[in-house]
Amino acid sequence: MQRRSGWRHARSGRIGAVDATQFVGRENDKISLSGVAYAELMAGRASLDELRDMATEGKAWPLIDGTGRVYGAFVITDIDEGMQEFFADGTPRKVDFTIDLLEIADITTGAA
């Protein structure tokens, strides 16, 4: 998991000096999840197809890690998939993937 957080500072140009800045808030977090799915261990492509269906709905989903930490509500913005090491019938044995998520304001509270 890779997480990117940012904070916005509005800038106003000044003659003969560095820009004046004002803190205007934090940006939406962006999270990338990368992994590998092996056909022998799980239904990798079927799981990615399910995630594509979730992304197509355009709804926000809660992101919770394995320890129970809640990161907030996120939408799926991108799914990259690479297939390798094929079986004789053309089914990929190994699927590399990256899923990009964008934090949205919590629909119930309006807070990010």
Does residue 109 lie within any of the structural domains? no
Does residue 110 lie within any of the structural domains? no
Q: What is the DSSP letter of 84?
A: E
pTM beyond 0.85: the answer is no
Residue 85 tokens read as: 């090491």
Name the domain count of the chain.
1
pLDDT digit string, tens, across residues 7-32: 999 999 999 999 999 999 999 999 99
Does residue 43 lie within any of the structural domains? yes
pLDDT digit string, tens, across residues 50-79: 999 999 999 999 999 999 999 999 999 999
Residue 22 tokens read as: 């004002």
Range of the domain at 96: 2-104
Q: What is the DSSP letter of 43?
A: -
- CATH number of the CATH domain containing 29: 2.40.30.200
